[in-house]
Amino acid sequence: MAFCPNCEAEYKPGFTVCPDCQIPLVPVLTAENRIHDNEEKGPVQFMTFGTSSEADMVQELLERNGVRAFVKGGSFSVLPTAFSQEIVLMVDERDIVKARELYETYFPTEAAGVPGEEEPEQ
């Protein structure tokens, strides 16, 4: 038998790569070769969003980079209303540092301009 160190699925002999995760299988799962540790931790709030599509986009980015994440709350609506439910992106506590690094890499929060300087005319 072989195992995926990411999703931990078990495969019959002959498989060498996990078809879902696209990574090489290992003969035995150990603490050293597992991508995700099994330490008891829970989900924590990462950030809130105004729309489900924003939250889904960040969730997909995080998951593609090995961060366990899910969107909590929110419901489909054409226009956000004052009564809409808060949309929260949750991540596994063990992945919070990696999630922050990824978010800051892809969505830098730089100032729009230097204070005191005027915007260039277009």
Q: What is the pLDDT of residue 69?
A: 92
Q: What is the pLDDT of residue 97?
A: 93
Tell me where in the chain the CATH 3.30.70.1530 domain(s) lie.
Answer: 40-109
Q: What is the pLDDT of residue 121?
A: 55
Q: Under a CB-based contact definition with an 8 Å cutoff, are residues 89 and 53 in contact?
A: no
Residues of the chain with pLDDT under 50: 83, 111-117
Q: What is the pLDDT of residue 114?
A: 43
The DSSP bridge partners found for residue 49 are 87
Q: How many CA atoms lie within 13 A of 56 on its CB side?
A: 6
Alpha helices in 15-94 (DSSP H): 52-64
Q: Which CATH class is domain 40-109?
A: alpha beta
Q: What is the pLDDT of residue 77?
A: 53
